Structure 1
Amino acid sequence: MASSAGLYLAIARGGFRRYSTYRAATAAGAFTNTVFGFVLASGFLALWHAKPHLGGYDTRQAVTYIWVSQALLVAVAAWGGGFQDDLQDRFRTGDIALDLHRPCDFLGWWLAGDLGRAAFQLLTRGAVPLTVGVLVGHARLPHSPLTWPLFLGSVLLSLLVSFGIRFLISVSSFWLMDAEGLRAVSVVVSMFLSGMLLPLTLFPDGLRQAAQLLPWAALIQAPCDIFLERGGDRVPAELALQAGWAVLLLAAGRAAQALAARKVVVQGG
């Protein structure tokens, strides 16, 4: 058990180091997220000045929502990507068959690497725009110190949910041969249902309630609301919903992996 934990920790460190080598790209990405933070925050300020307390947010909460969402955007891979690109390349080359016979769990290997990637993105492309937003962008930090562990726990769950969604899409390549179409659909769905563009509380009744129960809400909306201390007594339920989706998606991914391994053996590849 200890050796397995050490292996996955080493894989996560490798994922962290891999992305840390792209320093110019990271700096450019952090700058881009910060600029977009200012652009979107300006739009939200105008909207909330016209309609105060829209969606249950006051003006400062709305601006803070933008900065927190910009901090999470790349880490949770709301646009897709991350390990998906590497995995798709291995499908094209046929190396995926070798991956299934590694002396470690296939899903665990990619999950550990993706968590390492996400940790680096949070510390760089996440921390920079959020810090700028707090210092000069009218964002506010949580009032209670207890909010921070709840927020970080929610972020971890959002990473697991994001991985679960992307892993299922990637594994579909065993049957579709190319998952690019599903990836494109997933990006569009994520844009609207994660809270990336607008808080889900602005959606019409019915659509809002449905969207808040879907897994994409766990990516941006849930951690943002916890950071803004909007949940109150609902925070445990929100975390439980995130955890439930994480468990369900990872279990579905493992089941799909098992079916895929059987397909590879049957095809002799």
Structure 2
Amino acid sequence: MVVGGGPGPGGVPPARARGVFTNTVFGFIMAYTYIALWDERPQLGGYDTSQALTYVWLGQALLMSSALMGGGFESELVERIRTGDIAVDLYRPVDLQLWWLAADLGRAAFHLLGRGVVPMFLGALAFDLAFPGSLWTWPAFLLSVFLGVVVSFAIRYLVAMSAFWLLDGAGAMRMAMLAGLFFSGMLLPLNLFPGLLGEVARALPWSSLLQVPADVFLGKHTGWGLTQAYVFQAGWALVLLAAGRLLQTAATRRVVVQGG
């Protein structure tokens, strides 16, 4: 949605320009924080300073695409559940889950290009980033991003479906947002988490949103390790999509029982 009228100079909507500016500012703040941290602890988490800085800007590039802070379809879907408009959606000749998945994939692609490329480019101008040495890494990275977006959708769809029972999904969405920020590695790479916490964090589905794609980009997953990373992401996607389908089926029965 464009706020404040039509497109600004050069045809760029003001809201998108503000989003790019915000991502870039936070990227610089986090980058200098990481520099201070890595100056004290070189090779922290298995990353050198250049890789750590690259991780920062990948986080900013994927922030909106992977909906690490929410802000995707879930607010609209929760509102439709709250108002009862969801009854109309459930009886349309299209699958509800696939409908929202298609829309969310389009949203993710738009944000990857509209809010991801520019901050990454500006970060590359200001810092020495570790870009892939092989061209094959780029499609491997994009496939990992795609799988991460599907996992993100599946999590947020589950949260939205909970509104059938909670009636107000605001609390669940906030909890999901906090979990996404922490367990995706947005605040700090999950490789830095100590002991059992790190093992659990890396095993949770949120790691598919940023940590796994970032490690693919940085060349941490190659060969059989890359296949394992894809299997991890695809496995969580299938499990969570199936759980969402089960909740959708239960919700459909609930609507029929209540509405007759």
Calculate the TM-score normalised by the size of structure 2: 0.93
Give the one of 104, 119, 127 matched to 2:117.
127
Aligned to 1:106: 96
Work out the CA distance in 1 between the residues paired with 2:153 and 2:12: 22
Contact 2:78 2:161 in 1 (8 A): no
Matched, 1:218 2:208: yes
Contact 1:172 1:179 in 2 (8 A): yes
Cα deviation digits, residues 163-213 of structure 1 (max 9, x gap): 000000000111111111111111111121100000001000111111111
Work out the CA distance in 2 between the residues paired with 1:231 and 1:115: 24
Matched, 1:255 2:246: yes
Contact 2:74 2:157 in 1 (8 A): yes
Contact 2:82 2:163 in 1 (8 A): no
Matched, 1:94 2:84: yes
Aligned to 2:195: 205
SS in 2 for 1:196: coil
Work out the CA distance in 2 between the residues paired with 1:167 and 1:137: 37
Gaps of 5+ in 2: 1-6
Matched, 1:242 2:258: no
Alignment of 1:29-68 (within 5 A): 29-68=19-58
Work out the CA distance in 2 between the residues paired with 1:132 and 1:53: 24
SS in 2 for 1:143: coil
Aligned to 1:184: 174
Calculate the TM-score normalised by the size of structure 1: 0.90
Aligned to 1:11: none
- Could you tell me the percent identity over the aligned residues? 53
Cα deviation digits, residues 102-145 of structure 1 (max 9, x gap): 11000011111111111110001111111111222322311111
Structure 2 counterpart of 1:104, one-letter code = V
> Which gives a bigger RCO, structure 1 or 2 (Cα 8 Å, sep 6+)?
1
Q: Report the more deviating stretch, 221-230 or 20-29.
A: 20-29
Matched, 1:268 2:221: no
Cα deviation digits, residues 213-261 of structure 1 (max 9, x gap): 1100001100011111112342111111000001111111111101100
